[in-house]
Amino acid sequence: MMNNKIEQKHLFLVEDDQRLADLVQEYMEKQGFLVSHEIRGDLAVDRIVEAQPDIVILDLMLPGLDGLEVYKKIQPHFKGGVLMLTAKDDDIDQILGLELGADDYVIKPVQPRVLLARIHALLRRYYGSPDEPNVKRSFEVGGLSINQAARQVTLSGLEVDLTTNEFELLCFLANSAGKVISRDQILHAVRGIEYDGLDRWVDIRISRLRKKLNDSSEHPQKIKTVWGKGYLFVKDAW
């Protein structure tokens, strides 16, 4: 039986490949989603801001305005999730998209079931799971305070502005304080996928967290890199 919460979710697809767009739209509508579609990047901006969908699925190569520019324009006015579609040879665009704050990406050719899994993972991050309590505990580590119910982080009394991905990653690391956590463990917990040995998502997000939490990028003390193994959230460093 279809979950009512999922049935109400709105996806906005920005994709100029009509055949692919039709495939994705048909598949997602069968899963109970409302799906809007736009071909041109320049026309998508106002439509996304006005509609405020739950998730935007954004191709990088678009007529009128490319996907990265679309993301920059909607970012100040849109608080939902953004999932980028990218070709295999667009590694630099993947990195740029994640640096800007996009939540995730799927590499073409798109497999609808993989896309659906990523969408469900994003919805859980933004709206919680219908099978789990949405309010989680709060905790403090030194000068760092994490309120999971309010999704708020403060450091030495000052609020830290984190994206949804950064918040989820920080919570996972903090809950595992004192333990070395591998990239595979992080990706499985936060994105619901396995590490393929090449994915830069974790490294980019760790770098952004360090910068926002006043940790040195060259000689980090709060979130340390353990070469060949993963990352260590150091309790005493906060």
Domains and CATH numbers, the chain: 4-127 (3.40.50.2300), 138-237 (1.10.10.10)
Pairwise pLDDT comparison (105 vs 90), residue with the higher score: 105
Distance CA 57, CA 55 (A): 6
Question: pLDDT (tens digit, 9 = 90+) per residue, 191-214?
Answer: 766 666 566 778 888 998 999 999
Quick one: pLDDT at residue 90? 55
Q: Is the pTM of this model over 0.75?
A: no
- Residue 28 is inside which H or E element, if any? helix 18-30
pLDDT at 178 over 90: no
Percent of the chain, pLDDT > 90? 29
pLDDT at 132 over 60: no
Distance CA 123, CA 6 (A): 9
Name the CA dihedral angle for 231, 210, 197, 229, rounded to a multiple of 10 degrees.
-20
Percent of the chain, pLDDT > 70? 82
pLDDT at 5 over 70: no
Question: pLDDT (tens digit, 9 = 90+) per residue, 19-69?
Answer: 999 999 999 999 889 999 999 999 999 999 999 999 999 998 899 999 889
Close Cβ partners of 36 (under 8 Å, ≥ 6 residues apart): 10, 11, 12, 13, 47, 51, 53
pLDDT at 133 over 60: no
